[in-house]
Structure 1
């Protein structure tokens, strides 16, 4: 038992050598690198977000098409610019939000780890809990910024669909929303976003931590005190764990995401303000329970790819931002 405990402790020490905490980071380089690399990542995944959003908002004819068919339909009708609608607004507008999200994630994780230093829980459990709490805090802090941006971007993504208001650009979206709905219109779906995405963020980071720990154990690092992971192994394990976390999260959160997306972009609610209940009833009437999984294929692909690329990009940003010693 003592040998196993010593081996596990040695293994965790080896893995911790690759962990870069908030104090070791050059904050300026961290935020600049983060803005550049996460924008590049967003560019690669943006087409899947456009397809997903269109499928969630469109009528039954488009909603029942396969994701790739919707992608080809957008290309045929709108060209390359169609699959990148809203990207410019998202890329430029997201930069301050990314600084907010990255800072709150790292600071809250560091605080949680320090607060649990004297506890008797296993190191892997302590790290998983700290990551989960940090993910939730980061999402709560950044929602106030990202929800209005999400409303603007999604309205630009669905241009051309029947019954959707036409906009000439992001500022036209803001102007028309403020005129017809007031400031509250920019925060459509804020409540459901906070209530669902914060636990979902904690779930993602928790699943990532659990998956990564399980993979390391399956590779023998839990029992081999001398064995240390190579750089390639670290990237591979992080990417695999990120894919698993993204896939799990997409299965559980797609119904809520469909309701939120329709709530943010649809205009034809009749009398009264749009609400979660009205949106849910409309979706049930149109397509039954299967309607809650509209756009599941593109979203599953988006979140799986996002999970993989995000965590690899995130770890790369941290390695590039270590202070010169």
Structure 2
């Protein structure tokens, strides 16, 4: 692919599109690779979640807990295992959620990109539109599976501070019996409002960052340069998406973690009451509690995920469809 930057034409490395993939290999290898990445980055998610649900002490007005303080407290009270609470539940949902995500992402990107070019859009405009549309579609598809997993795994993450809740399977059954499917999909609307724009921002930023970086370094066919540019672009996109959607993520986490049937009664009123409660605790700054771990997690995750994902697409290409 090429695009014009001023008067100079920049050639981007060729992409592996949806039609070029061996789907069975793509999904099988993807499940294994992304499960490993999820496990490696999981402790940052646990710390971020604990920060988001941390309540101020009524006896005093202490400084908001820091990520380091939360991580140290977990290690002191629960040991290393505390940083991996809910991991098995999270991994159980990763495979189907990622499969839906990747299928929706690649098929939408291919369809929208082709349609945009046919309508007369430039290559760069078509790529930007395809990336944003694909991010939205993929996020919505994945949340159908991921929201119930998120509800259960996040409650397990904060189990020490909110009381023991047993295993993931027991908690899943408990929520289903007490609140029905509605309980498992608590925060689904906010999840869509969080992840749809987050994914749109991410994929759009990623496409733009790649073009900007390739514009600076020039056309290179070296594999190491390709990986480096993709990694830097992904990290920048992940950081941007983290900042833009952090308040919505905090609201979503509170809705999903606080038990509507007891404990956290101030959260029963839904989104409005949740927002009011967060603002009462510390104003808009409270909406950004956990931004550091989330920013680091999303940037590192994005860098790791995209290099893994691009590698996955190349090793999953049909015979003769792509030449590295």
The answer as to whether partners of 1:63 and 1:295 remain within 8 angstroms in 2 is no
CA shift at 1:99, angstroms? 0.9
Inter-partner Cα distance in structure 2 for 1:199 and 1:299: 16
Greater shift, 142-151 or 280-289, is seen at: 280-289
Inter-partner Cα distance in structure 2 for 1:192 and 1:166: 26
Which deviations, in whole Å up to 9, do the C-alpha atoms of 1:74-109 show, x marking residues without a partner?
111111110011111111222111111111111111
**Alignment partner for residue 309 of structure 2, among 306, 311, 314?**
314
- Specify every segment of 5 or more residues in structure 2 that has no aligned partner in the other structure, as ranges: none
The answer as to whether partners of 1:48 and 1:302 remain within 8 angstroms in 2 is yes
Partner of 2:43: 47
CA shift at 1:178, angstroms? 2.1
Bigger relative contact order, structure 1 or 2, given CA contacts below 8 A and separation 6+? 1
Which runs of structure 2 are paired with 1:58-73 in the superposition (5 Å)? 58-60=54-56, 64-73=64-73
The answer as to whether partners of 2:258 and 2:267 remain within 8 angstroms in 1 is no
Inter-partner Cα distance in structure 1 for 2:71 and 2:7: 53
Inter-partner Cα distance in structure 1 for 2:299 and 2:250: 17
Which deviations, in whole Å up to 9, do the C-alpha atoms of 1:267-296 show, x marking residues without a partner?
334389440111111111222221111111
Partner of 2:238: 246
**CA 213–263 in structure 1, closer or farther in 2 if over 3 Å, else same:** same
TM, length-normalised to structure 1: 0.90
**What is the alpha-carbon root mean square deviation over aligned residues?**
2.0
Which deviations, in whole Å up to 9, do the C-alpha atoms of 1:209-234 show, x marking residues without a partner?
1111111111134xxxxxx3311110
Partner of 1:224: none
CA shift at 1:166, angstroms? 2.4
Greater shift, 111-120 or 86-95, is seen at: 111-120
Inter-partner Cα distance in structure 2 for 1:75 and 1:5: 53
The answer as to whether partners of 2:128 and 2:208 remain within 8 angstroms in 1 is yes
- Determine if the alignment matches structure 1 residue 218 to structure 2 residue 213: no
The answer as to whether partners of 2:47 and 2:71 remain within 8 angstroms in 1 is yes
Aligned length: 310
SS of residue matched to 1:117: helix
Which deviations, in whole Å up to 9, do the C-alpha atoms of 1:208-263 show, x marking residues without a partner?
11111111111134xxxxxx331111000000000100111111111111111011
**Alignment partner for residue 174 of structure 1, among 166, 172, 175?**
172
Which deviations, in whole Å up to 9, do the C-alpha atoms of 1:186-217 show, x marking residues without a partner?
11111111123212211110011111111111
- Specify every segment of 5 or more residues in structure 1 that has no aligned partner in the other structure, as ranges: 222-227
